[in-house]
Amino acid sequence: MLFFSFFKTLTNQTVTIELKNDIRIRGILKSVDQYLNIKLDDIEVLDLAKYPHLSSVKNMFIRGSVVRYVMLPRSEVDVGLLEDATRRAEAANQAGKAR
Amino acid sequence: MERLSLNESPAPAPRTPQQNQQFSQNALGPAGPQPTGGPPQLPPQMFTTAAQLLDLTDKKLVLILRDGRKLIGVLRSWDQFANLVFQDTVERVYAGQLYADVPRGIFIVRGENVLLLGEVDLDREDDIPPTLTRAPFEEVFELKKKEDAKRKTGDKKRYDELQALGFEPEHSGEILF
């Protein structure tokens, strides 16, 4: 759930998503759900010539399972906060196991 | 046992300074039912698969499947796994600089096969890139078959070489288009 929360904080940022089939799409992150399915608005496909079927697409829904990378604007990522949240999630996880 | 209270409401029990710091930065992560502090969050119902697909319902979409098929149709129904129902579907086949449309009808698609759904901009849908020409589908199919065979042998060769070097092929050797 940590990354779900994290992506929620990134809504309305411009991100670039690389899919497992090497398509790279830049767009405004509009929404994310528990499977990390992503909705992008105002998309722009890098190397569009190779993917003509996307030439008339403006918004898209990407299934989380086919995403390879999400490239984020560096300025929008609070690494310290993310590290801390990760540790907290792990601690909660450990506590759950000990129970 | 003391760690059990980490994400629950602040207990009166004394805490270490480190834990205090963790409590103060509670903007991210699996906080309890009511996160304390942090930026205001959008309502959680906006962040469900259903909410994402609801906006796309009854619109003309491009559906790309894991096997590389491109279907153009109207999304009529769906569920939380992104299982989809498409109406008036046309399959568009691309090969080289050619493409062809094949009318297909109604599709029920299992969610795991979905790569992405793109909303077609109705103002731009007829702007086919000038490099592409429409051709009879027999011709396009023939060309596509050749292209696929060529890519398959190329991919197999690459995977074999990678495997000899000790690499596992990405997504267990399944080819995504």
* pLDDT of res. A59: 92
Question: Tokens standing for B118?
Answer: 């793109």
Percent of chain B with pLDDT over 70: 69
Nearest Cα to A20, choosing from B119, B47, B95, B172? B172
Enclosing domain of residue B153:
47-163
Closest chain B C-alpha to A94 CA, distance in angstroms: 9
* pLDDT of res. A45: 93
Beta-carbon neighbour count of residue B9 at 10 Å?
Answer: 9
Q: Give A22-42 as a DSSP string.
A: S-EEEEEEEEE-TT--EEEEE
* pLDDT of res. B80: 85
Classified as helix, coil or strand, B8 is: coil
* pLDDT of res. B156: 87
Below-70 pLDDT ranges, chain A? none
Asked if residue B133 is part of any domain, the answer here is yes
* pLDDT of res. A15: 96
Question: Which residue ranges make up each domain of chain A?
Answer: 1-98
Q: Predicted confidence band at B12 (pLDDT cuts at 50, 70, 90)?
A: very low
Chain A residue with the nearest C-alpha to that of B60: A57
Beta-carbon neighbour count of residue B1 at 10 Å?
Answer: 7
Question: Tokens standing for A32?
Answer: 């994310």
Range A1-98 has CATH code 2.30.30.100: yes
Classified as helix, coil or strand, B108 is: strand
Closest chain A C-alpha to B48 CA, distance in angstroms: 5
Is B2's pLDDT higher than 50? no
* pLDDT of res. B168: 79
Residue from A5, A50, A51, A78 whose CB has the most chain B CBs within 10 Å, to mutate: A5
Asked if residue B51 is part of any domain, the answer here is yes
Closest chain B C-alpha to A73 CA, distance in angstroms: 18
pLDDT digits (tens, 9 = 90+) for B20-76: 444 444 445 444 444 445 556 666 667 888 888 998 999 999 999 988 899 999 999
pLDDT digits (tens, 9 = 90+) for A79-97: 898 899 899 988 988 988 8
* pLDDT of res. B174: 57
pLDDT, mean of residues B77-83: 90
* Count of the separate structural domains present in chain B: 1
Is B83's pLDDT higher than 90? yes
Asked if residue B120 is part of any domain, the answer here is yes
CA B34, CA B32: separation in Å to the nearest integer? 5
Asked if residue B173 is part of any domain, the answer here is no
For residue B59, give the CATH number of its domain.
Answer: 2.30.30.100
Q: Predicted confidence band at B101 (pLDDT cuts at 50, 70, 90)?
A: very high
Angle, vertex CA A24, rays to CA A39 and CA A80, nearest 5 = 70
Do residue A84 and residue B42 have CB atoms under 8 angstroms apart?
Answer: no
The one-letter code for the residue type at B55 is: D
Nearest Cα to B75, choosing from B84, B83, B67? B84
Asked if residue B20 is part of any domain, the answer here is no
Is B7's pLDDT higher than 60? no
* pLDDT of res. B155: 84
Q: Which residues of A touch B49 (CB under 8 A)?
A: 33-35, 37
Chain A CB within 8 Å of residue B60 CB? no
